[in-house]
Amino acid sequence: MHSRLCPLGSAGKNRYFVFMRGKFLVGFATFLVSIVLPFALKAQVKKLVFNTSLTANMFLHTYGAGTGIDFFRKTGDKEFLFSADISSFKNKREQKIESVYKNQNGKDFIFDKKNYFYSLSAKAGFAWKIAGLSHFNMIEARCFVQLGPSLGFLKPYYVEIAVPITQTQADVIPEKYDASKFSYYDIVGEADYFLGMDEISIVPGFSATAGMIFDFDGQAEFIKAIKISANADCYPSQPEILDTQINRKYFIGGTFALVFGNSWEAGGR
């Protein structure tokens, strides 16, 4: 049995040429898009670049926690960064212990704590982008360095002291913690936090920070980011956080912050 090749009729030839022409047009259109699209997107991204940003943040650091604000301003090729924050500092040796009077409503308290310590700092510095926002990159990354003065605030730590009036009764009075005056068995528990607000003392110092900010929002006008940094807070006069144990002048550690804010073109949002 023999088979024969049938010649392509005119209708078949037309369909073949239509198919090949369509394939050529699709390929040519794809080529044009691949050439033109990056330039079009680049031009569009330029319109999305703003020169001013304001953000708020909440952070944890090696010695405590805090909150702050950051202000970015781009002038020419330079990007300036101004920040202000307030944070708490603890001594790593702090230990909250159970009151010997727990069965009589005694509260837990921090043994040997003399003062609460807070720091208010204002810093200025420079920032620069290492990965800009584009339609092909939804994460913007910045590096930054800052330096500035800080003010440390020491607020006395108050505890409730049992003062015997009879063999079976005692008055409970608030006193500033003093290891030379009170033993563990004298302390009923932690007193009201707001006692001693009129006895705050100030310790001047300075603060330095260097780190990176990663913006994951994907939109130039909005900022949802994390900030990771290394910090050094130094105080010439040693803040007395604990009474009898060693306190430090230098607080060197790291910070992790959640950042929220927005950007705009200077002169109007």
SS3 254: strand
Which residues make Cβ contacts (< 8 Å) with residue 176, sequence separation at least 6? 114, 156, 157, 158, 159, 196, 199
Sign, Cα dihedral of 200, 244, 113, 166: negative
φ/ψ (deg, to 5) at 260: -135, 140
State the pTM of this model: 0.77
Strand pairing class (115-131; 96-97): unpaired
Contact yes or no for 198/172 (Cβ under 8 A): no
DSSP sequence for 95-120: -EE--TTGGGTPPPEETTB-EEEEEE
Order across the sheet with 170-176: list the strands.
Answer: 170-176, 158-164, 187-190
Say what the pLDDT of residue 213 is.
92
pLDDT tens track for 128-161: 888 765 666 678 888 999 999 999 999 999 999 9
Q: What Rg value do the Cα atoms of the chain yield, rounded?
A: 33
Distance CA 220, CA 223 (A): 7
Contact yes or no for 173/198 (Cβ under 8 A): no
Q: Low-confidence residues of the chain, pLDDT below 70? A: 1-50, 132-137, 218-221, 266-269
Q: Which amino acid is at 166?
A: T
DSSP sequence for 135-174: TTB--EEEEEEEEEEEEEEEEEPEEEEEEESSSS-EEEEE
Contact yes or no for 142/167 (Cβ under 8 A): no
Contact yes or no for 125/133 (Cβ under 8 A): no
Say what the pLDDT of residue 140 is.
80
Say what the pLDDT of residue 139 is.
80
Q: Report the 10 Å Cβ neighbour count for 50.
A: 16
Tell me the CA distances in angstroms from 192 to 148, 157, 189, 196, one per residue in order: 33, 9, 10, 9
Say what the pLDDT of residue 6 is.
46
Cα 248 → chain centroid: 24
Say what the pLDDT of residue 25 is.
58
pLDDT tens track for 34-72: 554 454 444 444 444 567 889 999 999 999 999 999 999
SS3 49: coil
The enclosing H or E element of 38 equals: helix 10-47
Distance CA 8, CA 226 (A): 67
